[in-house]
Amino acid sequence: MSEAKTSLPVANGRVVRTAARRSRVIEFKVDGEIVPAWIGDTLLVAVLSHRGALSIHEFDGEPRAGFCLMGACQDCWVWLEDGTRLRACTTPVEPGLAVCTRPPTDGLCHA
């Protein structure tokens, strides 16, 4: 793979990037914590570069981190603070996005 021209702070997440990006580094929030990502990342890659999981499943209470990764299984849902639900594997990250790993109440994440 190509040599990285830009580098993010070493991330200890589940997914591993193998290709450099020419796009802009931005910041977004996961459960209130500000973390970096690249324009062009899906939310799944943006979150899982820093975390081991995307969400806590509402029925079994266990962590989930996506399964089909192509928009079919809906296992990668995350939420915005206003309650909007997003499919992380197909949604691009945007600067300033505030992602919650559980459904928020009263506009607040429950980390």
Partner 1 sequence: MHKVVIVGAGPAGFAAAELLHVNGLIPTLVDEAATAGGQIYRRPAPDIELDMRRLLGRGHRRYQRFHARAGHLLAQIDYRPQTTAWAIFADRVWTLRDQIIEQVPFDALVLATGATDRTVPIPGWTLPGVVTLGGAQALLKGQGALIGRRVVFCGSSPLLYLAAKQFLAAGATVGAILDTTPFAAKVAAAPDLLRAPEVFADGLKSMARVRGAGVPIHHGVRLESFEGDGEVSAVRYLDRKGRAKSVDCDAVAFGFGLKPEAQLADLAGVPFRYDPTFRQWLPATDGDGRAGRRTYLAGDGCMIGGAQAAEISGSLAAAALLQDAGTPTHGIDRSALRRRLARLHRFQHGLSRAFTWPAGTLAGASDSLPICRCESVTAGEIRRAVGSVLGPIDINRVKALTRVGMGRCQGRFCALPAAELVAAAAARPLEAVGRLRGQAPVKPLPPTARVRDRS
Taking the alpha carbons at both ends of the chain, their separation in whole angstroms is 36
Q: Is 62 in the site for partner 1 (CB under 8 A)?
A: yes
Q: Is 14 in the site for partner 1 (CB under 8 A)?
A: yes
- Closest approach, Cβ 15 to partner 1, in A, equals 5
Give the residue, chosen from 52, 95, 108, 110, that forms a contact with partner 1 under the rule CB under 8 A: 52
CB count within 10 Å of CB 90 equals: 13
Quickly tell me which residue has 């691009």 as its tokens: 92
Q: Is 45 in the site for partner 1 (CB under 8 A)?
A: yes
Give the C-alpha distances (Å, rounded to integers) separating 111 from 5, 25, 32, 58, 78: 33, 25, 8, 14, 12
Residues 21-40, interacting with partner 1 (CB under 8 A): 21-23, 38-40
- Closest approach, Cβ 43 to partner 1, in A, equals 11
What is the sign, positive or negative, of the torsion defined by CA atoms of 9, 14, 19, 25?
Answer: negative
Which residues contact partner 1 (rule: CB under 8 A)?
1-2, 5, 14-23, 38-42, 44-45, 49, 52-54, 57, 59-60, 62-75, 77, 84-85, 90, 92
